[in-house]
Amino acid sequence: MLRLSRRSFLAASAFLAARPAVADKPIGEDVDVIVIGAGAAGIAAARKLKSERMRVLVFEARDRIGGRCVTDTKTFGIPFDLGAHWIHNPDSNPVVTSANAKVDPAPRWQAVHIGSRPARDAEMEVFLAGQVRAQRALREPVKSKTDVPATRALPENLGAWRTEIEFLLGPYALGKELSEVSAAELVSAAERANDAFSAEGYGTLLARAATGLPIRTSKWVKQIGWEKGVMLETEDAIWFPRAAILTCSTNALIAPDINFVPPLPKRVKDAASFLALGSLDHIALDIPGNPLGLQKDDVVVEQANGPRTAALLANVSGTSLHVVTVGGNFGRELSAKGEQVMTDFAVEWLGSLFGTDVKRLVKKSAATRWNAERYVYGAMSAAGPGHGDARKVLHEPLNKVWLAGEALHETKWGTVEGAWESGERAAEGLAKYLHRQDAREQRPARKRKRYQ
C-alpha cells in the first residue's frame, strides 16, 4: 500500500470529495514534485530538484524522452536528429557540459545556387553583404514607439536576394515568416554564435544528461487540478504532489490534450497563443557515394524567387545522410500533405539545384511532421509583433503549478539551451518555495499573550 503524507492525504480527500468521478482510481505515490514532460526543460528541472533533495518524478506522455530534441538511430542506422540539431554556444551549452560531449564546429558558410549553377564570386559577395546588413538591421532597436513585424526592420536594398534572406532569417531560423515575428523579439535575442554539431546527435546528448532520473514514459497527464492544491490524473492513477512543473509547448498548453480544473485563465491562454510555435521539418535522404560532390556538413541554399524553397545540410557529420529543411508557411502546408509529398519536394528541389535525377540516388528517406506530433504541435516559439511581454504571464505560477520551456526564456527562446535554463530556473524557484514552506511548518507556534 502506498503511504501518503498528512498533507497529501488532506489534499486527496478534498479533491476526491469534490470530484468523485476519479475516486475509483488508486492514488499514486507521495512525492514532492512531478515534472510533466521529459524534454530539455523537464530534464533540467528534475536534475535541479534532485540536487535540492526533493522527491521527484518525471511523467512523459510519449514512449521516449527528449521532447523536440531527439535522435533517431534506427531508420538509417546512423544518428538523425528529428528536431534540434544546431548546438548554439557549445562552450557554455548546459546540455553539452552535462553530457560531457565532444562536438565539432558547424560550417560558417553556405554553398549558394542560382538555378542549377553555383553562384559566382561576385554574386556571393552581394548575397553575403545583404545578409550582414539584414542581420545588423534586425539587431537595431525598433525606432517606432510600438513593436512592429520584423520585416519592417529589414533594409530596402537587398535586391534579388531579399526572398532568400527572409527565408534564412525567418522560416529556416525561426520556423515563422518574419512578418509574423516581433522586431523587438529579435533585438532581445541572445547571440547564437559558434554553432556546433554532435556526430552522436543532439538528442543523444540530452538523453545522456537524463541518466539516472526517475522518468516514466508513456505516462500521459490527462487532467491537472491546480486551484487549491495540485492533482494530476493519469490513465492508471491520481497523484497529489506538493507541486508540479509543466513543460509542454505553448501549442500543447492550449490544445485539448490536458484538461485543466478549473480552466486556464484567459490571460494564460492568450499568452501561449502569442508565443505560438512555428513550423520546421526535416526531410532526410540517404544518398550514398556523395554523387552531389558536397563536403561534410555543407549547407546549400538557393537564390529563391518564391516561398517554395528549403536548405540542405549535406553529408551530416560525414555520413551519407542529407537533410532538407523546410519551414514557415510553405513548410506547414507541405507537412500537412504528408511524408511522401514532402519527400517528392525534397528530391525535386535538389534535382533543380544540381541538374540531376536525385530520385535514383536516394536509397532511403524519412520526414518529420512536428505540427502533427501529439503533445507538441510545432517546432519552436517566437513572439508575434507586440507580444514579447507574454512570457511574463507564463512565468506566474498557477498556484503550485509552475511552467517552463523554451518559450519562457527571455533571450534564448526557440533553443534547447533556453528550454534547459527555463526548467532549471523553475525548479530552483519551486525548491526555495517548498523549503520555506517546510521551515514554516516546523517552526513552533508562538504563544499568544493573554489580555485581561
Handedness of CA 316, 60, 94, 409 (dihedral sign): positive
pLDDT one-digit tens code per residue, 282-337: 999 999 999 999 999 999 999 999 999 999 999 999 999 999 999 999 999 999 99
> What mean pLDDT is reported for the chain?
93
Q: Who has greater pLDDT, 124 or 388?
A: 124
Of 170-174, 209-213, 386-390, 408-412, the least confident:
386-390
pLDDT at residue number 442: 80
User: In angstroms, rounded to a whole number, what is the distance separating the alpha carbons of residues 215 and 237?
Assistant: 16
The burial class, CB within 10 Å (0-12 / 13-18 / 19+), for 133 is middle
Question: Tell me, what's the pLDDT at 448?
Answer: 42
- Tell me what the mean pLDDT of segment 332-350 comes to: 98
Q: Which domains does the chain have, with CATH numbers?
A: 6-66+210-276+380-441 (3.50.50.60), 107-194+278-372 (3.90.660.10)
Residue 5 reports pLDDT greater than 60 = no
Residue of 12 and 404 predicted with greater confidence: 404
Q: What is the spatial distance between Cα 71 and Cα 206, in angstroms, rounded to a whole number?
A: 9
For residues 93-101, average pLDDT: 94
pLDDT at 441 over 90: no
Contact 65, 215 (CB under 8 A): yes
List, as one string, the DSSP characters of 256-310.
Answer: TTSEEESPPPHHHHHHHHHT-B--EEEEEEE-TT-TT---TTEEEEE--SSS---
C-alpha cell at 97: 557540459
Higher model confidence: residue 1 or residue 27? 27
Predicted pLDDT at 3: 45
Rounded to whole angstroms, how far apart are CA atoms 391 and 408? 5
The tally of CA atoms less than 13 A away on the side-chain side of residue 164 is 23
Q: What is the pLDDT of residues 41-75, one digit of tens each?
A: 999 999 999 999 999 999 999 999 999 999 999 99
Answer yes or no: are the C-beta atoms of 391 and 10 closer than 8 Å. Answer: no
Helix (H) or strand (E) holding 314: strand 311-314
192 or 440, which is more confident?
A: 440
CA-to-CA separations, 374 to 22, 120, 180, 249, in angstroms, rounded: 24, 45, 24, 11
Q: Measured over all CA atoms, what is the biggest interatomic distance in the chain, rounded to whole angstroms?
A: 100
